[in-house]
Amino acid sequence: MQPSVEPSMLDVFNDNFDRAAQYLDAPEDLLESIRICHHMYSIQFPVRIKNKVRIFHAFRAEHSHHRLPTKGGIRYAPNVHLDEVAALAALMTLKCAIVDVPFGGAKGGIALDPRDYEADELERITRRYATELVRKNFIGPGVDVPAPDLGTGEREMAWIADTYNMLTPNSVDALACVTGKPITQGGIRGRREATGRGVQYVLQEFFRHPDLVKRAGLSGDLAGKRVVVQGLGNVGSHFARLIQDDGAVIVGIGERDGTITAPRGLCLGAVLAHRHETGSIRDYPGATTLERPADCLELDCDILVPAALENQITAHNASRIRAPLIVEAANSPTTSEADAILRQAGKIIIPDIFANAGGVTVSYFEWVKNLSHMRFGRMAKRVGIQTHQRMITGIEDLTGSVFPQTLRDDIVHGIDE
Ligand SMILES: NC(=O)C1=CN([C@@H]2O[C@H](COP(=O)(O)OP(=O)(O)OC[C@H]3O[C@@H](n4cnc5c(N)ncnc54)[C@H](OP(=O)(O)O)[C@@H]3O)[C@@H](O)[C@H]2O)C=CC1
Ligand SMILES: O=C(O)CCC(=O)C(=O)O
């Protein structure tokens, strides 16, 4: 029987937690203290928008303080509420543990649709939210460190860092109060694409395990695999670009305004240019446009990557999912009932708390960089350049050949952030 109401994200987290707990030999009281969200902050504040005072509802949840600071994004979406950020904060605790970064989990949000506001209005709302977080000690380099999530990005993180800085004038570590900042404001190279790149790495790793590939009913490597992506935002667009470089073929894309599909493949760059020009992915030349964003989930493909919203694969559509491999780039895109249906059908699901952990991993390096007040590699850079230079000269002397200039520059320069 199909449920009439979709479960909340917190229901889904609790179901999954209970399922995982069965594999542990841990007392129930301990499990309960791991499950619950420890600190929750719910705020309502007024901001003047177009000469009218509007009340905004905003939240921050710190799931676990077993490691500090707590860490997790801030989302701007119309229906954000306290239970939702509590569930997302719990996922952050598990995610940080899986990739072993020293944080407890947190998440926050403001209930608004960013498309309804001008940039200066969003700035005032964001700065007021950040001020409220400072007032209640829900932000700080050693307390709770937000980052981008759905509907937010580098710009919002820069506003938050600046607000924090203004309110704590003697704090030398102020920049470490938030990650995902622009490079010029203390950000780190690679954070922008980190979550999508992490999803790419997860898939590359999956295809290094022939037993898993076989269990999914697939063969070979990523090249030629047919991929469908839902959501062309920060996570989805970088993932799609990177996976195309691995030879995968994007056969479908779902966005807010519908789905496009082309069995022979879509060129991501051209789709983004089309969206930029027309404001929509619909009617992309050479592709079929389907009405609903969720139509993309049911397309025939090898790998399905939901990278937009929660609760997309539900008890209602799970039986129509054709992809044998599902990679959860979004947080909580699959309800627990859907998860059971998919597993029953023999599908492999790579869960969000592993698949999208690339973002918080790179955030960790940004935080460390801000606390150390030094760019990665700065101290050893010159020594590295001299060592590589000597190595190249030695090889050229021994072989009598000369390195091509571009290769020489590449080797001499070495890695950066
Ligand atoms: N940013 C990060 O580093 C991380 C994000 N995540 C998770 O990844 C997911 C996506 O986040 P992110 O990419 O940052 O968010 P963005 O806001 O950058 O992108 C979301 C994208 O989804 C689109 N979208 C909105 N509604 C729908 C819909 N109904 N169907 C299909 N697409 C839709 C949006 O379109 P439009 O622009 O029109 O709104 C937008 O292109 C979220 O679940 C987030 O929690 C997880 C780890 C880290
Ligand atoms: O980069 C971070 O700190 C957190 C990213 C995030 O919100 C997430 O992984 O869901």
CATH of the domain at 31: 3.40.50.10860
Say if residue 31 is in the same domain as residue 177. yes
Report H helices in 136-259: 154-167, 191-206, 210-215, 234-245
- Identify whether 95 is part of a domain: yes
- Amino acid 1: pLDDT: 42
**Pocket of ligand 2 from Cβ distances under 6 Å:** 71-73, 92, 95, 147, 149, 179-180, 331, 356, 359-360, 363
Atom of ligand 1 minimally distant from the CA of 147: 3
Beta strand spans in 5-119 (E): 39-49, 52-62, 70-77, 104-111
Say if residue 35 is in the same domain as residue 109. yes
- Amino acid 386: pLDDT: 87
Sorted by sequence, the CB contacts under 8 Å of residue 284 that are 6+ apart come out as: 260, 266, 270, 271, 274
Q: Structural domain of residue 170, as residue ranges?
A: 9-187
Q: Name the pTM for this structure.
A: 0.93
Say if residue 59 is in the same domain as residue 92. yes
- Percentage of the chain lying above the pLDDT 70 cut: 98
pLDDT by residue (tens digit) across 243-262? Answer: 999 999 999 999 999 999 99
Say if residue 164 is in the same domain as residue 280. no
Residue owning the nearest CA to atom 4 of ligand 2:
72
Which of the listed residues 358, 379, 396 is the one where a domain comes to its end? 358
pLDDT by residue (tens digit) across 273-295? Answer: 999 999 999 999 999 999 999 99
Which of the listed residues 187, 207, 241 is the one where a domain comes to its end? 187
- Identify whether 122 is part of a domain: yes
Higher-confidence residue of 386 and 167: namely 167
Bind-site residues for NAD(+): 195, 234
Cα 23 to Cα 7: distance, rounded to the nearest angstrom: 24
Backbone phi and psi for residue 215, each to the nearest 5 degrees, phi listed first: -60, -30
- Amino acid 36: pLDDT: 96
Catalytic residues: 107
Which of the listed residues 138, 156, 187 is the one where a domain comes to its end? 187
Backbone phi and psi for residue 90, each to the nearest 5 degrees, phi listed first: -65, -40
Say if residue 166 is in the same domain as residue 265. no
**Pocket of ligand 1 from Cβ distances under 6 Å:** 73, 148-151, 195, 230-236, 254-256, 293, 307-309, 329-331, 356, 359
Say if residue 164 is in the same domain as residue 268. no
Atom of ligand 2 minimally distant from the CA of 357: 9
**What is the mean pLDDT of the segment spanning 52-64?**
98
Q: What is the ipTM of this complex?
A: 0.98
Cα 280 to Cα 271: distance, rounded to the nearest angstrom: 9
Pocket test for ligand 1, best of 150, 178, 241, 275 (most atoms within 8 A of CB): 150
- Identify whether 371 is part of a domain: no
Pocket test for ligand 1, best of 79, 201, 234 (most atoms within 8 A of CB): 234
Say if residue 258 is in the same domain as residue 152. no
Closest Cα partner for 147 from 402, 388, 391, 365?
365
Two structure tokens written together for 164: 């924090």
**What is the mean pLDDT of the segment spanning 359-388?**
90
pLDDT by residue (tens digit) across 76-111? Answer: 999 999 999 999 999 999 999 999 999 999 999 999
Say if residue 203 is in the same domain as residue 311. yes
Say if residue 235 is in the same domain as residue 142. no
Give the number of domains in the chain. 2
Residue in the structure block whose two tokens are 């009598």: 400
Helix 268-278 with 234-245: angle, nearest 10 deg: 150
Contact present, 180 and 363 (Cβ < 8 Å): yes
Residue owning the nearest CA to atom 43 of ligand 1:
330
